[in-house]
Amino acid sequence: MIPLRPGLFLGTAGDAATIAPDTGISHVLTVDSKEPPPLGDRQTKFVRALDDAGSDLLSFLDECVRFVQEALACTGAAVLVHCHAGVSRSATIVTAYMMKIDGLTFEEAYSKLQDVKPDVKINDEFVKQLKLYEKMGCNVDLTSADYKQYRLQKVINKYPELQNLPQELFALDPVSQEKTNEVLYRCRKCRRSLFRGSSTLNHIPGSGPNAFAHKRMTQTHREGQTKCTSYFVEPVQWMEPALLGVLDGQILCPKCRSKLGSFNWYGDQCSCGRWVTPAFQIHKNRVDEVKHLSFSNVKNVSS
Protein backbone atom coordinates (compact mmCIF):
# COMPACT_ATOMS: atom_id res chain seq x y z
CA MET A 1 0.00 0.00 0.00
CA ILE A 2 1.55 3.29 -1.19
CA PRO A 3 0.63 6.74 0.23
CA LEU A 4 0.15 9.14 -2.70
CA ARG A 5 -0.71 12.23 -0.67
CA PRO A 6 -2.12 12.86 2.82
CA GLY A 7 -5.11 10.56 3.26
CA LEU A 8 -4.92 8.87 -0.18
CA PHE A 9 -3.48 5.36 -0.62
CA LEU A 10 -3.13 3.09 -3.66
CA GLY A 11 -2.92 -0.64 -3.09
CA THR A 12 -3.84 -4.24 -3.79
CA ALA A 13 -6.60 -6.63 -2.74
CA GLY A 14 -4.22 -7.97 -0.11
CA ASP A 15 -3.76 -4.47 1.31
CA ALA A 16 -7.54 -4.05 1.60
CA ALA A 17 -7.84 -7.34 3.47
CA THR A 18 -5.16 -6.41 6.03
CA ILE A 19 -5.71 -2.72 6.77
CA ALA A 20 -3.84 -1.73 9.89
CA PRO A 21 -5.74 0.45 12.37
CA ASP A 22 -3.00 3.06 12.49
CA THR A 23 -3.46 3.95 8.79
CA GLY A 24 -6.69 5.79 9.56
CA ILE A 25 -8.32 4.39 6.44
CA SER A 26 -12.05 4.93 6.76
CA HIS A 27 -13.07 4.57 3.09
CA VAL A 28 -12.21 1.86 0.56
CA LEU A 29 -12.81 2.01 -3.18
CA THR A 30 -12.50 -1.38 -4.90
CA VAL A 31 -12.21 -1.85 -8.68
CA ASP A 32 -12.11 -5.57 -9.33
CA SER A 33 -13.94 -8.51 -10.87
CA LYS A 34 -15.27 -9.71 -7.50
CA GLU A 35 -16.75 -7.72 -4.66
CA PRO A 36 -14.59 -7.94 -1.52
CA PRO A 37 -15.90 -9.16 1.84
CA PRO A 38 -17.30 -6.59 4.31
CA LEU A 39 -14.70 -4.27 5.80
CA GLY A 40 -16.27 -3.54 9.16
CA ASP A 41 -17.57 -0.04 9.66
CA ARG A 42 -15.57 1.46 6.80
CA GLN A 43 -17.44 3.15 3.97
CA THR A 44 -16.93 1.27 0.75
CA LYS A 45 -17.59 1.56 -2.96
CA PHE A 46 -17.28 -1.28 -5.46
CA VAL A 47 -16.94 -1.04 -9.25
CA ARG A 48 -17.00 -4.34 -11.09
CA ALA A 49 -14.42 -4.32 -13.92
CA LEU A 50 -11.92 -6.63 -15.52
CA ASP A 51 -8.49 -5.42 -16.52
CA ASP A 52 -9.13 -5.89 -20.24
CA ALA A 53 -10.05 -4.07 -23.43
CA GLY A 54 -13.77 -4.72 -22.98
CA SER A 55 -14.12 -2.96 -19.63
CA ASP A 56 -15.72 0.43 -19.21
CA LEU A 57 -14.22 2.53 -16.43
CA LEU A 58 -14.87 5.86 -18.11
CA SER A 59 -18.56 5.80 -17.23
CA PHE A 60 -17.68 5.42 -13.53
CA LEU A 61 -14.85 7.94 -13.26
CA ASP A 62 -16.95 10.87 -12.04
CA GLU A 63 -18.60 8.91 -9.23
CA CYS A 64 -15.29 7.33 -8.20
CA VAL A 65 -13.54 10.71 -8.11
CA ARG A 66 -16.45 12.08 -6.09
CA PHE A 67 -16.17 9.18 -3.60
CA VAL A 68 -12.48 9.91 -3.03
CA GLN A 69 -13.06 13.65 -2.85
CA GLU A 70 -15.86 13.33 -0.28
CA ALA A 71 -13.80 10.87 1.76
CA LEU A 72 -10.84 13.24 1.96
CA ALA A 73 -13.17 16.08 2.94
CA CYS A 74 -14.01 14.24 6.18
CA THR A 75 -11.87 15.25 9.15
CA GLY A 76 -9.25 12.63 9.95
CA ALA A 77 -10.41 10.32 7.14
CA ALA A 78 -8.28 8.41 4.66
CA VAL A 79 -9.17 6.41 1.57
CA LEU A 80 -7.65 3.34 -0.06
CA VAL A 81 -8.17 2.85 -3.79
CA HIS A 82 -7.32 -0.67 -4.87
CA CYS A 83 -7.77 -3.35 -7.51
CA HIS A 84 -6.30 -6.87 -7.49
CA ALA A 85 -2.67 -5.91 -8.12
CA GLY A 86 -2.72 -2.12 -7.69
CA VAL A 87 -1.26 -1.63 -11.16
CA SER A 88 -3.92 -0.75 -13.75
CA ARG A 89 -7.58 -0.39 -12.69
CA SER A 90 -7.03 1.40 -9.40
CA ALA A 91 -4.27 3.47 -11.03
CA THR A 92 -6.83 4.59 -13.63
CA ILE A 93 -9.12 5.91 -10.88
CA VAL A 94 -6.30 7.70 -9.07
CA THR A 95 -5.04 9.24 -12.32
CA ALA A 96 -8.55 10.52 -13.09
CA TYR A 97 -8.72 12.00 -9.57
CA MET A 98 -5.42 13.84 -10.06
CA MET A 99 -6.51 15.10 -13.47
CA LYS A 100 -9.78 16.50 -12.17
CA ILE A 101 -8.74 17.82 -8.76
CA ASP A 102 -5.27 19.08 -9.68
CA GLY A 103 -6.16 20.29 -13.17
CA LEU A 104 -3.54 18.06 -14.82
CA THR A 105 -3.44 16.53 -18.28
CA PHE A 106 -3.46 12.75 -18.52
CA GLU A 107 0.25 12.67 -19.28
CA GLU A 108 1.10 14.92 -16.32
CA ALA A 109 -1.04 12.97 -13.85
CA TYR A 110 0.17 9.58 -15.07
CA SER A 111 3.81 10.68 -14.90
CA LYS A 112 3.39 11.95 -11.33
CA LEU A 113 1.76 8.69 -10.29
CA GLN A 114 4.58 6.64 -11.82
CA ASP A 115 7.12 8.77 -9.97
CA VAL A 116 5.56 7.60 -6.70
CA LYS A 117 4.72 4.04 -7.77
CA PRO A 118 6.96 2.98 -10.69
CA ASP A 119 5.24 -0.38 -11.27
CA VAL A 120 1.98 1.32 -12.26
CA LYS A 121 1.01 0.40 -15.83
CA ILE A 122 -2.48 1.35 -17.00
CA ASN A 123 -3.64 -0.85 -19.87
CA ASP A 124 -4.03 0.71 -23.31
CA GLU A 125 -7.84 0.69 -23.24
CA PHE A 126 -7.98 2.59 -19.96
CA VAL A 127 -5.40 5.04 -21.31
CA LYS A 128 -7.79 5.78 -24.20
CA GLN A 129 -10.63 6.25 -21.73
CA LEU A 130 -8.60 8.67 -19.62
CA LYS A 131 -7.67 10.67 -22.70
CA LEU A 132 -11.36 10.89 -23.64
CA TYR A 133 -12.09 11.94 -20.04
CA GLU A 134 -9.55 14.72 -20.45
CA LYS A 135 -11.10 15.73 -23.80
CA MET A 136 -14.50 16.08 -22.08
CA GLY A 137 -13.03 18.40 -19.45
CA CYS A 138 -12.80 15.66 -16.79
CA ASN A 139 -16.58 15.32 -16.70
CA VAL A 140 -18.45 12.42 -18.26
CA ASP A 141 -20.68 14.29 -20.70
CA LEU A 142 -23.51 11.98 -21.75
CA THR A 143 -24.42 14.35 -24.61
CA SER A 144 -20.91 14.39 -26.07
CA ALA A 145 -20.66 12.84 -29.54
CA ASP A 146 -17.33 11.31 -28.51
CA TYR A 147 -18.88 9.69 -25.45
CA LYS A 148 -21.87 8.40 -27.43
CA GLN A 149 -19.51 6.78 -29.94
CA TYR A 150 -17.45 5.30 -27.11
CA ARG A 151 -20.55 3.89 -25.41
CA LEU A 152 -21.70 2.29 -28.67
CA GLN A 153 -18.30 0.65 -29.10
CA LYS A 154 -18.80 -1.14 -25.78
CA VAL A 155 -22.15 -2.67 -26.76
CA ILE A 156 -20.69 -5.73 -28.54
CA ASN A 157 -18.62 -6.61 -25.45
CA LYS A 158 -21.49 -6.20 -23.01
CA TYR A 159 -24.33 -7.52 -25.19
CA PRO A 160 -22.74 -10.01 -27.65
CA GLU A 161 -26.15 -11.30 -28.72
CA LEU A 162 -27.36 -7.72 -29.30
CA GLN A 163 -30.54 -8.43 -27.37
CA ASN A 164 -32.20 -6.46 -24.56
CA LEU A 165 -30.13 -3.37 -25.31
CA PRO A 166 -30.66 -0.57 -22.76
CA GLN A 167 -33.18 2.04 -23.87
CA GLU A 168 -30.80 4.88 -23.04
CA LEU A 169 -28.67 3.67 -25.93
CA PHE A 170 -31.30 4.96 -28.36
CA ALA A 171 -31.97 8.62 -29.08
CA LEU A 172 -35.56 9.78 -28.81
CA ASP A 173 -37.64 9.53 -31.94
CA PRO A 174 -37.97 13.16 -33.13
CA VAL A 175 -41.59 12.49 -34.12
CA SER A 176 -42.45 12.39 -30.41
CA GLN A 177 -41.07 15.92 -29.96
CA GLU A 178 -41.53 17.82 -33.20
CA LYS A 179 -41.26 21.25 -31.57
CA THR A 180 -37.55 21.91 -31.27
CA ASN A 181 -34.95 24.47 -32.16
CA GLU A 182 -32.60 21.72 -33.29
CA VAL A 183 -31.82 20.87 -36.88
CA LEU A 184 -34.01 17.97 -38.02
CA TYR A 185 -33.33 15.47 -40.77
CA ARG A 186 -36.32 14.13 -42.69
CA CYS A 187 -36.84 11.38 -45.22
CA ARG A 188 -36.61 13.00 -48.64
CA LYS A 189 -39.38 10.76 -49.97
CA CYS A 190 -42.12 10.91 -47.31
CA ARG A 191 -40.90 13.81 -45.08
CA ARG A 192 -40.93 11.71 -41.91
CA SER A 193 -38.60 13.16 -39.23
CA LEU A 194 -35.72 10.73 -38.64
CA PHE A 195 -33.09 12.21 -36.34
CA ARG A 196 -31.88 15.45 -34.76
CA GLY A 197 -28.67 17.31 -35.32
CA SER A 198 -27.49 16.29 -31.85
CA SER A 199 -27.64 12.64 -32.91
CA THR A 200 -24.96 13.02 -35.57
CA LEU A 201 -21.57 11.59 -34.61
CA ASN A 202 -18.89 13.51 -36.46
CA HIS A 203 -15.50 12.00 -37.21
CA ILE A 204 -12.13 13.22 -38.41
CA PRO A 205 -12.06 12.88 -42.23
CA GLY A 206 -9.96 10.01 -43.53
CA SER A 207 -7.30 9.96 -46.20
CA GLY A 208 -9.70 9.72 -49.12
CA PRO A 209 -8.59 7.57 -52.09
CA ASN A 210 -5.51 6.27 -50.25
CA ALA A 211 -7.78 4.49 -47.77
CA PHE A 212 -9.39 2.51 -50.59
CA ALA A 213 -6.19 1.29 -52.26
CA HIS A 214 -7.19 -2.32 -51.53
CA LYS A 215 -10.47 -1.92 -53.42
CA ARG A 216 -11.41 -1.14 -57.00
CA MET A 217 -11.36 2.64 -57.29
CA THR A 218 -14.77 4.16 -57.97
CA GLN A 219 -15.14 7.24 -60.14
CA THR A 220 -15.63 9.32 -56.98
CA HIS A 221 -12.35 8.10 -55.50
CA ARG A 222 -10.44 8.45 -58.78
CA GLU A 223 -11.41 12.11 -58.77
CA GLY A 224 -9.92 12.45 -55.30
CA GLN A 225 -13.23 12.99 -53.50
CA THR A 226 -12.73 12.91 -49.73
CA LYS A 227 -16.03 14.36 -48.54
CA CYS A 228 -18.39 12.34 -46.37
CA THR A 229 -21.47 11.28 -48.31
CA SER A 230 -23.24 9.90 -45.22
CA TYR A 231 -24.28 11.06 -41.79
CA PHE A 232 -23.11 8.73 -39.02
CA VAL A 233 -25.62 8.84 -36.19
CA GLU A 234 -26.43 7.27 -32.86
CA PRO A 235 -29.24 4.69 -33.01
CA VAL A 236 -32.71 6.23 -32.84
CA GLN A 237 -35.72 4.56 -31.23
CA TRP A 238 -37.41 3.75 -34.54
CA MET A 239 -34.32 1.75 -35.60
CA GLU A 240 -34.46 -0.64 -32.64
CA PRO A 241 -36.44 -3.53 -34.27
CA ALA A 242 -33.93 -3.70 -37.15
CA LEU A 243 -30.84 -3.57 -34.93
CA LEU A 244 -31.64 -6.23 -32.34
CA GLY A 245 -29.99 -9.61 -32.78
CA VAL A 246 -28.19 -8.84 -36.06
CA LEU A 247 -24.73 -7.46 -36.75
CA ASP A 248 -25.47 -5.57 -39.96
CA GLY A 249 -28.25 -4.67 -42.34
CA GLN A 250 -30.16 -1.91 -44.07
CA ILE A 251 -31.71 1.12 -42.41
CA LEU A 252 -35.18 1.75 -43.87
CA CYS A 253 -37.50 4.70 -43.33
CA PRO A 254 -40.04 3.63 -40.67
CA LYS A 255 -42.87 5.20 -42.70
CA CYS A 256 -42.30 4.65 -46.42
CA ARG A 257 -39.68 1.86 -46.12
CA SER A 258 -37.32 3.50 -48.59
CA LYS A 259 -33.65 2.69 -48.05
CA LEU A 260 -31.84 5.37 -46.03
CA GLY A 261 -28.51 3.69 -45.37
CA SER A 262 -27.00 0.77 -43.49
CA PHE A 263 -25.58 -0.30 -40.14
CA ASN A 264 -22.78 -2.54 -38.92
CA TRP A 265 -21.99 -3.03 -35.25
CA TYR A 266 -18.37 -3.86 -36.11
CA GLY A 267 -17.95 -0.73 -38.19
CA ASP A 268 -17.87 0.46 -41.76
CA GLN A 269 -15.81 2.80 -43.88
CA CYS A 270 -17.02 6.29 -44.69
CA SER A 271 -16.61 7.64 -48.21
CA CYS A 272 -13.85 9.88 -46.82
CA GLY A 273 -11.86 6.79 -45.91
CA ARG A 274 -12.35 6.92 -42.15
CA TRP A 275 -13.39 3.69 -40.43
CA VAL A 276 -16.26 4.28 -37.99
CA THR A 277 -17.15 1.73 -35.29
CA PRO A 278 -19.96 0.92 -34.89
CA ALA A 279 -21.50 2.48 -37.99
CA PHE A 280 -25.08 3.68 -38.38
CA GLN A 281 -24.93 5.66 -41.57
CA ILE A 282 -27.64 7.56 -43.39
CA HIS A 283 -26.88 8.62 -46.96
CA LYS A 284 -27.05 12.39 -47.29
CA ASN A 285 -28.92 12.19 -50.59
CA ARG A 286 -31.78 10.32 -48.88
CA VAL A 287 -32.62 13.00 -46.31
CA ASP A 288 -33.27 16.73 -46.13
CA GLU A 289 -31.92 19.05 -43.45
CA VAL A 290 -34.60 21.22 -41.85
CA LYS A 291 -33.47 24.21 -39.82
CA HIS A 292 -35.58 26.17 -37.34
CA LEU A 293 -36.07 29.79 -38.27
CA SER A 294 -36.67 32.39 -35.57
CA PHE A 295 -38.93 35.32 -36.36
CA SER A 296 -38.56 37.00 -32.98
CA ASN A 297 -36.57 39.86 -34.45
CA VAL A 298 -38.77 40.38 -37.48
CA LYS A 299 -40.93 43.50 -37.22
CA ASN A 300 -44.24 43.92 -38.95
CA VAL A 301 -44.20 46.81 -41.39
CA SER A 302 -47.58 48.28 -42.31
CA SER A 303 -48.02 50.01 -45.62
Q: Which stretches does DSSP call E strand in 125-172? A: none
Q: How far apart are the first and last CA of the chain?
A: 83
Q: Per-residue pLDDT tens for 28-39? A: 999 999 999 988
Question: Distances from the Cα of 110 to the Cαs of 105, 117, 187, in angstroms?
Answer: 8, 10, 48
In this prediction, residue 213 carries a pLDDT of 52
Q: Which residues of 65-83 are buried (b: 16+ CB within 10 A; e: fewer)?
A: bebbeebbeeeebbbbbbb
In angstroms, rounded to a whole number, what is the distance separating the alpha carbons of residues 257 and 249? 14
User: Whole-angstrom Cα distance, residue 241 to residue 283?
Assistant: 20
Mean predicted lDDT score pLDDT of the chain: 90
For position 176, what pLDDT does the model report?
81
Residue 221 pLDDT level (bands cut at 50, 70, 90): very low
- Residue 211 — pLDDT band, cuts 50, 70, 90? very low
Taking 80 as the threshold, does the pLDDT of residue 260 lie above it? yes
**Which of 64, 74, 83, 190 is the catalytic position?**
83
Closest CA to 274 of 220, 204, 216: 204
Average pLDDT over residues 225-243: 92
Nearest to 30 by CA among 9, 16, 14, 19: 16
C-alpha span between 101 and 84 (Å, rounded): 25
Across-strand partners of 186? 193, 288
Q: Is 70 helix (H, G, I), strand (E, B) or coil?
A: helix
Q: Is 228 a catalytic residue?
A: no
Query: In 3-state terms, what secondary structure has residue 236?
Result: strand
Reported pTM:
0.84
Query: 244 — phi, psi (to 5°)?
Result: -70, 130
d(CA 165, CA 155): 8
Confidence label for 210 from pLDDT (cuts 50, 70 and 90): low
- Which domains can be identified in the chain, with CATH numbers? 2-140 (3.90.190.10), 167-290 (2.170.150)
Nearest to residue 64, comparing CAs of 86, 81, 83, 39?
Answer: 81
